[in-house]
């Protein structure tokens, strides 16, 4: 048993090393004073300064963040509403809808990207618009919604099925019952869905490449274009900043979720204590 435990811990250590060692190298070399990606030339913030003077990268970053935030917000609202609708369905229709919902996640990105591009081109000829920021945003919302649905549904299944009707029996309107009773209970799933949608959007390249058009460029597309030449160390600095932001979001959401779980345990303990006294 001890040998198996040691082997498991060693294996997990190797897995984490394999996953995070490249990120650690990227972060370290973002502070490299020289342009080399293999030789350390001393500590410097030169590439961070250069990054904030590179208008092309900053414009791509601005587009990426704008699309990611808007797509995550819209997909969170739409995905939460869809999850509630799926939850209220009967078993067979719900299974069919969930199967359709899983298609964008199991489908290859290149197929989704090409399909959306053909759809936008066809509609653009009829309605008079071209590929650009709008089509890019719609594409991101499309592949973000399924992740939000799958994040919210487990929280809905954990709810007491009578809690909504009980709130209405106590005088709350339908909207008030949802806002003050149902939504706080499923909020951890909503936040997780929003975070997943944001990270999926900020990381996407293939679908963005086919739906952004020629005048709109995301950060992933800009990095891909730079790989045809020589990648600037400014990309290391930008990647480090993005990694820190995403890591901070994860920490905040995990702390918030743990506090909510502690508050829920305290509420349950408070409700049980009067019953024990009786």
Structure tokens at 219: 């950060």
Domain hosting 105: range is: 55-249
Confidence of residue 57 (pLDDT cuts 50, 70, 90): confident
Across 158-189, b (16+ Cβ under 10 Å) vs e yields eeeeeebeebeeeebeeeebbeebbeebbbbb
Give the pLDDT confidence of 22-50 residue by residue, as tens digits. Answer: 888 888 888 888 877 777 878 888 888 88
Distance (Å, whole) CA 162 – CA 79:
23
The residue assigned the tokens 């709130």 is 167
Asked, for residue 259, whether it belongs to a domain, the answer is no
Top-confidence residue, 190 or 167: 190
Task: Name the β-bridge partners of 32.
Answer: 43
Give the pLDDT confidence of 245-269 residue by residue, as tens digits. Answer: 778 877 877 777 777 677 767 766 7
Asked, for residue 41, whether it belongs to a domain, the answer is no
Asked, for residue 113, whether it belongs to a domain, the answer is yes
Asked, for residue 268, whether it belongs to a domain, the answer is no
Q: What is the pLDDT of residue 140?
A: 93
Q: State the average pLDDT over residues 74-92.
A: 89
Q: What is the pLDDT of residue 93?
A: 85
Asked, for residue 43, whether it belongs to a domain, the answer is no
> Rounded to whole angstroms, what are the CA distances from 12 to 20, 25, 122, 247?
12, 20, 49, 21
* Domains in the chain, number: 1
CA atoms within a 13 Å half-sphere pointing along the CA-CB vector of 173: 2
Asked, for residue 28, whether it belongs to a domain, the answer is no
User: How many other CB atoms are found less than 10 A from the CB of residue 9?
Assistant: 10
* pLDDT reading at 142 higher than 80: yes
**Dihedral of the alpha carbons of 81, 87, 93, 98, in degrees to the nearest 10:** 70
Q: What is the CATH number of the domain that holds 98?
A: 1.10.3720.10
Distance (Å, whole) CA 139 – CA 210:
10
Q: Note the pTM of the prediction, 2 decimals.
A: 0.78
Asked, for residue 278, whether it belongs to a domain, the answer is no
Q: What is the pLDDT of residue 66?
A: 92
Asked, for residue 97, whether it belongs to a domain, the answer is yes
């Amino acid at each position: 048993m001890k040998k198996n435990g040691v082997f498991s811990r060693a294996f997990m250590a190797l897995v984490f090393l394999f996953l995070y060692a490249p990120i650690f190298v990227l972060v370290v070399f973002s502070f490299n004073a020289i342009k080399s990606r293999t030789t350390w030339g001393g500590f410097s913030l030169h590439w961070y300064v250069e990054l904030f003077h590179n208008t092309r990268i900053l414009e791509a970053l601005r587009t990426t963040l704008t699309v990611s935030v808007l797509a995550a917000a819209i997909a969170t609202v739409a995905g939460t509403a869809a999850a509630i609708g799926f939850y209220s369905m009967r078993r067979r229709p719900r299974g069919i809808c969930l199967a359709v919902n899983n298609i964008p996640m199991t489908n290859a990105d290149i197929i989704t990207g090409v399909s959306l591009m053909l759809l936008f081109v066809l509609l653009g000829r009829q309605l008079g618009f071209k590929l650009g920021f709008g089509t890019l945003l719609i594409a991101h919302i499309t592949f973000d919604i399924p992740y939000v649905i799958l994040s919210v549904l487990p929280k809905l299944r954990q709810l007491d099925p009578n809690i909504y009707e009980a709130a209405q029996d106590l005088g709350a309107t339908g909207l008030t019952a949802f806002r003050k009773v149902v939504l706080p209970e499923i909020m951890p799933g909503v936040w997780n869905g929003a975070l997943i949608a944001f990270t999926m959007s900020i990381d996407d390249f293939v679908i963005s490449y086919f739906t952004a058009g020629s005048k709109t460029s995301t950060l992933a597309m800009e990095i891909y274009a730079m790989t045809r030449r020589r990648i600037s160390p400014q990309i290391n600095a930008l990647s480090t900043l993005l990694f820190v932001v995403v890591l901070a979001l994860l920490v905040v959401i995990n702390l918030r979720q743990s506090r909510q779980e502690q508050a829920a345990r305290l509420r349950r303990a408070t409700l049980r204590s009067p019953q024990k006294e009786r």
